[in-house]
Amino acid sequence: MTRRALISGGAGFIGSHVAERFLEAGYTVDLLDNLSSGKRENVAAGATLHVLDITTPDAARLVREGKYDVICHLAAQIDVRRSVTDPAFDAAVNIGGSLNLLEAVRQSGHNTRFVFSSTGGAIYGDFVPIPSIEHMPKDPESPYGIAKLSVEYYMGYFARVHGLDTVALRYSNVYGPRQDPHGEAGVVAIFCKRIIKGESLNVFGDGLQTRDYVYAGDVARANFAAATVTLPKMAQLDVRAYNIGTTVETSVLDLARLLYEAAGKPANIGHSPARAGELARSSVAIDKAKRDLGWTPTMPLLDGLRATYEYFRGSTS
């Protein structure tokens, strides 16, 4: 019998890569996306798109009746800045929408593994050693990070009290083809577009702030692993939370230089005043994902940036 997967946010940047990975493995794949940021052209060939919002009864009905073997939940309000200006909206989507799906899984009575796309950098904050390990203290500094951590706690509740099979993946900064210029990781898409237009790249402050950039294809493999491997029973929340990154810190300045190298063009980099409250360093340890999921990233940063640049160059030609 063909196994079934539901990808919320499946018409989005990361979700479309995840959908392709499941289709390659022979799954029947449904996508749940309201197309607020997802795009129809991102819908993987062979997948079925349901244009629904994760906060609605119709989305809950799809989950209850779908008999899915796995749900990869990527649909979210992803703009950290909007979470600051409108935390109620952020919570309604990121907490309320996630609860809507979790409760629908509970009501379905089906043995569904629920894989949640959480966040690495926004959960740990600036006061833990780098690279951050899953069990380290959490100090989210934005409503977005608070919402993601809250959903992890709710998942722990549903797992312990109702027996749901839940996994959280804490992404570092994901980049790759189809990326939208939103959030911190959106800097790769922004830089690609500016290079193609012949514009200079703008770096805030000295550009030495670091991030851990992980390729979308590697993230898709992590989702598939989290959905399919046998995992240890959950004794505490962090047992089922996994960092997904590279452990490699790359400064924004080095990222800009690498993108110019990928594009085969001379660097043209300018500086603007530093942004208040910006994380100085961010990187995640991945030993736990290696051990339990059998996952490691495979895409070298320069190769991934080259593939991303070529995608944007092709989409604008």
Beta bridge partners of 71: 6, 114
- Asked if 120 and 239 sit in the same domain, the reply is yes
Residue linked to tokens 């979790």: 102
Q: Cβ(10)–Cβ(62) under 8 Å?
A: no
CA R_g for the chain: 19
First CA to last CA distance, the chain: 43
φ, ψ of residue 109 to 5 degrees: the values are: 70, 5
- Asked if 238 and 263 sit in the same domain, the reply is no
Full pLDDT tens readout for the chain, 317 residues: 899 999 999 999 999 999 999 999 999 999 999 999 999 999 999 999 999 999 999 999 999 999 999 999 999 998 888 899 999 999 999 999 999 999 999 999 999 999 999 999 889 988 889 999 999 999 898 999 999 999 999 999 999 999 999 999 999 999 999 998 765 558 999 999 999 999 999 998 999 999 999 999 999 999 999 999 999 776 555 559 999 999 999 999 999 999 999 999 999 999 998 877 677 889 999 999 999 999 999 999 999 999 999 999 988 65
Distance between CA atoms of residues 7 and 311, nearest Å = 23
265 inside domain: yes
| Cβ neighbours, 10 Å, residue 101 | 26
CATH of the domain at 190: 3.90.25.10
199 inside domain: yes
Q: Which residue in 144, 215, 242, 260 is the catalytic one?
A: 144
Q: Which domain holds residue 272?
A: 176-212+247-285+299-315
Q: Quick check: is 171 catalytic?
A: no
Distance between CA atoms of residues 126 and 187, nearest Å = 20
Tell which residue, 211, 80, 222, 212, has the closest CA to residue 147.
80
> Residue 246 in 3-state DSSP?
coil
- Asked if 166 and 182 sit in the same domain, the reply is no
- The amino acid occupying position 17 is H
Would you state the pLDDT for residue 277?
64
Tell which residue, 139, 33, 143, 123, has the closest CA to residue 82.
143
Instruction: Give 22's Cβ-side CA count (13 Å radius).
Output: 33
H/E element, 7: strand 4-8
Tell which residue, 18, 39, 148, has the closest CA to residue 83.
148
146 inside domain: yes
CATH of the domain at 144: 3.40.50.720
290 inside domain: no
- Asked if 68 and 194 sit in the same domain, the reply is no
- Say how many domains are in the chain: 2
Distance between CA atoms of residues 9 and 183, nearest Å = 16
Dihedral sign, Cα of residue 135, residue 217, residue 74, residue 37: positive
Beta bridge partners of 169: 117, 242
- Asked if 236 and 138 sit in the same domain, the reply is yes
pTM of the model: 0.95
Structure tokens belonging to residue 92: 């309604």
60 inside domain: yes
